[in-house]
Structure 1
């Protein structure tokens, strides 16, 4: 039944995609972030839905009369520079075969990220994209939260297999990124039932993040909550809610969860933490030795034997920063960090432009919550190999479109006045 439903929805959307490439972008984001076909058990799990939607969207973009140019902003230009640099490092990869397989996946993500930036142009499309992102990850938050309650927190929450968020740690970080988006949507709806539903979704998503047993997620959610409290105009109310809910959520988790979180303070005795430190040192040594880095996919025994302090402890980078450093060198790391800074500055610019404009309050709240998501990703991503996870790139597209809409509306207002 699930396979049939997903298939009908995707094929049923094709006429709408051909009419509007923005619909195609939204469908692509839904399929690439949520991977709804993984929730079935039959024929739909093997159908190339993403490819079908991508082709339909590109064709729609080709025949559409809507603007097709890529907005030239610091974000889009730096992302383009990052893509160019990855294409420079890829031919010199230490593991050519594995590198080209990963290159193929990453370039598809980057191509469609640029397409999303090209076609999301209106406030309506922006809000639709936020809803798609929140709903796609929120589904697993609600599902995982209910699972945590039913199991009493004794079992770990996992994401859909063979996806970016399949790992328990990755799913937890995705949920943390999504909670601020849910909060934004909750604060900007007049429907009581929807507000209550989003409140429940946020609570369950937080519980699912805890139920993942991810230590990095705990640090990320703490940093994100602190930022949201600082930015809140109702610090007393929000602080009271956080002080009330946090002890309840933590008290619900079993002793084994507390014991795992306690290992944050004793990482010197934890094999997983030591493995990450070994992988980080390997990435550092590799980048120092090779200007272009090692190319995609450097978690290999042969590479660790050459660059790691402990050549027998082969780990993935478990850090977006050391992942880009090992794969694309110091230049790649510099571009990626600059991209993050540009994204933060774009959100800050929107906040500055809309602070005194009541009609643009929607943009002010959205930019602030995306900054909260960025805080969560920056902290949690320090412990996960999610450099190519597409959701942050779609949030960049949201900021690009929001700034364009805001500046256009402010300019129009000035001309009319």
Structure 2
């Protein structure tokens, strides 16, 4: 039944995508982020729904009367540069092109469709479609996991959907951390009390599910995100009261073994998993120092560890977005990746500065702020996970750039020339001269 339902929804949406290509963004995110077909038991689990939707979107864009272009923004150019650099490192990978081709294709599908989404998302409505789809796609697992944690008393771990980017307990925990600020943004758009309450309940359940994953990295990410969320909130007093009540309650709901697990952060030297990650980080560092282009994809094996790791037999995945990029794409790749994150953050700051005094753009201020909070959660939690190619941070980037383009059209002409010049420098991530 589930397989049939997903199939009907996907194929039933195709005529609407041809009529309005931006609707394809909703279907693409739903299939690629939520992976609803993974919840089935039959043919749908392996059916290429994503390929069908992607092909339909591209065909609709070609045939549509409108012309779709990438937004002319510095973030776009750095994103494309990072994408191109990954092809260079794949071409000269340590194991050869034949070994890395499968992973290169997988990553390029994600990045290529991210570029397509950047071309399609141009209005506030389309931005909020994107946000809502991400929230529903990940919130489903958060609400489900939060209820599971309540029913089990936190004695069993929460896991993500099998066969996806977020199938592990650590991965799904970080995804839920990232989606919470987006839910908080949507609360401000709700007009009815019950809708606000439903989203607030979803936030609490997502937080509980993240804790119920027993992920230490997610616990750190929640702490960092909570602080930034409060600092950036325009309603510090009520939010502070809510956090003061909710955070201790959520922690107290967890059993003793959860507290013991989190306490190992302070004694990481005695934890074999933590020390294995450090060994992988040092391997990536040594590899990047030895090879300008890094090792390319698929470097986590005995051969590479024997050459570059302090403990050759302790083979681990990167377990860090930063060391993953460093090891696979070298120092230049890491510089591009970090520049991309900094520039997306700075773009949010420009949005807030430009739109602060414009009544019709207050939604942009709130959205940019919450996108920044999501980035903080991912930046902290991602330090301990191999999620450098996870879709959602790039969708956050897309929403930020699209919002910036709207604000530029509506607010920039009203600003003095010096202020506009400062905004351009900030967009590029450099200090004005």
Class of the TM-score when normalised by the shorter of the 2 chains = over 0.9
Deviation string 1:65-106 (CA, Å, 9 cap, x unpaired) is 223111121111000000110011101112234411100100
CA displacement at 1:409 relative to structure 2: 2.1
**Cα 1:290/1:186, change in 2 over 3 Å:** same
CA displacement at 1:259 relative to structure 2: 0.2
Separation of aligned partners in 2, 1:184 and 1:23 = 21
Residue 6 of structure 1 corresponds to 6
Residue 114 of structure 2 corresponds to 113
Q: Does 1:158 align with 2:159?
A: yes
Residue 332 of structure 1 corresponds to 333
Residue 430 of structure 2 corresponds to none
User: How does 1:139-178 map onto structure 2 within 5 Å?
Assistant: 139-178=140-179
Q: Does 1:82 align with 2:82?
A: yes
Give me the CA root mean square deviation. Answer: 1.1
Separation of aligned partners in 2, 1:250 and 1:8 = 42
Separation of aligned partners in 2, 1:135 and 1:98 = 36
Tell me the TM-score normalised to structure 1 length: 0.98
Q: Which runs of 5+ in 1 are unaligned?
A: none
Residue 365 of structure 1 corresponds to 366
Separation of aligned partners in 1, 2:368 and 2:375 = 10
Residue 407 of structure 1 corresponds to 408
Q: Does 1:48 align with 2:48?
A: yes
User: How does 1:63-102 map onto structure 2 within 5 Å?
Assistant: 63-96=63-96, 97-102=98-103
User: How does 1:375-414 map onto structure 2 within 5 Å?
Assistant: 375-410=376-411
Separation of aligned partners in 2, 1:224 and 1:3 = 37
Secondary structure of the 1:79 match is helix
Residue 263 of structure 1 corresponds to 264
Tell me the TM-score normalised to structure 2 length: 0.94
Separation of aligned partners in 1, 2:233 and 2:108 = 38
Separation of aligned partners in 2, 1:85 and 1:214 = 32
Separation of aligned partners in 2, 1:336 and 1:46 = 32
Separation of aligned partners in 2, 1:36 and 1:413 = 45
Residue 127 of structure 1 corresponds to 128
User: How does 1:185-196 map onto structure 2 within 5 Å?
Assistant: 185-196=186-197
Residue 272 of structure 1 corresponds to 273
**Cα 1:270/1:411, change in 2 over 3 Å:** closer
Deviation string 1:325-347 (CA, Å, 9 cap, x unpaired) is 00000000000000001100111
Q: Does 1:247 align with 2:238?
A: no
Q: Does 1:233 align with 2:234?
A: yes
CA displacement at 1:234 relative to structure 2: 2.2
Residue 198 of structure 2 corresponds to 197
Q: Does 1:17 align with 2:29?
A: no
Which range moves more in the overlay, 372-381 or 351-360?
351-360
Q: Which runs of 5+ in 2 are unaligned?
A: 416-433
Separation of aligned partners in 1, 2:71 and 2:234 = 32
Residue 208 of structure 1 corresponds to 209
Separation of aligned partners in 1, 2:331 and 2:8 = 46
